[in-house]
Structure 1
Amino acid sequence: MNIDFKQIASATMILFAVIDVIGNVPIIVDLRRKVGHVESEKASIVAGIIMISFLFLGDEILKLIGIDVNSFAVAGSFILFFLAIEMILGITLYKDDAPETASIVPIAFPLIAGAGTMTTLLSLRAEFAVENIIIAIVINLIFVYIMLKLSGKIEKLLGKSGLGVIRKIFGVILLAIAVKLFASNVTGLF
């Protein structure tokens, strides 16, 4: 095993910024109002299964369709870039329809384990050891579970402006990650 605490910390922060569970608290609170109870345990477990499965099978899927990890990482850097722009500027570039239920969809997928998270996982795999990424996933899932359970209290504590500030801070971090991801993988394309 190649346990590296620096890789774990980096992967954890990257996934934390991409998953953006703090920034999604307003969405989670709104879902609670619309559909009632959100199954925090179920959503966290299903999101974990999706993320770990994609971590292992995503590369094989890419090979099957003839795309290398560097190309996917560069494409992922663009997705992360636009996610960061949404977070920083407070705009929505892509919007899903409002859901009728909040069990697995939309909390586990696509809110937690969505396209940005999956892209990030494959991008991380190009740079970090798999066991370190799995530990980072588990750390993030624990945090996601806690945030899902406490979303109402967090909203009351931070207020809308506090959540907005946190979302913008993580947007800037995500933007820096997107630039680094692009820079470290673009040379592998040529």
Structure 2
Amino acid sequence: MIDLSEIGKAFLILFAVIDIVGGIPLILQVREKAGKIYPARAVLVSLGIMVSFLYLGEGILNLLGIDVRSFAVAGALVLFFIALEMILGVRLFKEDLSAPGLTDGRDDNKVYSVVPLAFPVIAGAGSITTILSLRAEFASINILFAILLNMIPVLLVLLLTSRIERLLGRVGLIIIKKAFGVIVLAISVKLFAANITQLFPTT
């Protein structure tokens, strides 16, 4: 059932986790290495990844004998450390920003729009974990709408990366990233608290 409240909440959570504005320095790095990026291709691929995990992720978890709430607790812990990265400016998770099999991205810059731009910059571990974790809280259809809506600002940022960087400046980007970090930290705590109690119900 479509619920605008759930869509709004899921949208804001995913927007904070994807943090496309805070990812502008990485996007610029990818574009410099590749020579050119393809925003539409990056958005479509990342959308496909997220939607696939939304509808197939729970089945995979079931095959592994893991319920959604257990994964939500684990996902909350991952989000917690991602938030610390954003707030403290440290690197806890190492992500390879090179395209495999290419010595120079200019040989096939379309590849760079998929790896690493679509994955893991846009549809990374944080967003995938969040999508699966949200299954414990919201209806799938509402999460789907939230994902689709998030692709709009993602596409706009990819198209206007240089202008946004000039407008906000390096300090502005850092401030935004840290602000989103605090939001993600609060989300992780709430997600953990909401699901840990379900794993250990009181009698």
TM-score interval for Structure 1 and Structure 2 normalised by the shorter chain: over 0.9
Residue 116 of structure 1 pairs with residue 123 of structure 2: no
RMSD over aligned Cα atoms: 1.0
Q: Counterpart amino acid of 2:155?
A: Y
Please identify runs of 4+ aligned residues in structure 1 that moved more than 4 A: none
3-state SS, counterpart of residue 103 of structure 1: helix
Percentage identity across aligned positions? 56
Q: 2:26 aligned with 1:16, yes or no?
A: no
Q: Which secondary structure does the structure 1 equivalent of 2:160 belong to?
A: helix
| 1:115 Cα offset (Å) | 1.4
Deviation at 1:72, TM superposition (A): 0.3
Cα distance between partner residues in 1 of 2:132 and 2:169: 35
Match of residue 165, structure 2, among 132, 155, 158: 155
Letter in 2 for 1:55: L
Cα distance change on mapping 1:98 and 1:119 into 2, 3 Å:
closer
Say which SS state the counterpart of residue 106 (structure 1) adopts. helix
Which is higher, the Rg of structure 1 or of structure 2? Answer: 2
Instruction: Look up the equivalent residue of 1:163 and give its one-letter code.
Output: L
User: Is 3-12 or 161-170 further displaced after alignment?
Assistant: 3-12
How far the C-alpha of 1:172 sits from its partner, in A, is 0.3
- Equivalent-residue separation in structure 1 for 2:48 and 2:32 (angstroms): 27
Count of residues in correspondence between the two structures: 189
* Aligned-partner residue type, residue 113 of structure 2: S
1:170 aligned onto 2:169: no
**Pairwise CA distance, 1:29:** 0.9
Secondary structure of the 1:140 match is: helix
Question: TM-score, structure 1 length as denominator?
Answer: 0.97
Unpaired runs of 5+ in structure 1?
none
Structure 1 residue 146 displacement after superposition: 0.7
Pick which of 93-102 and 147-156 moved more.
93-102
In structure 2, stretches of 5+ residues that fail to align are 100-104, 106-111
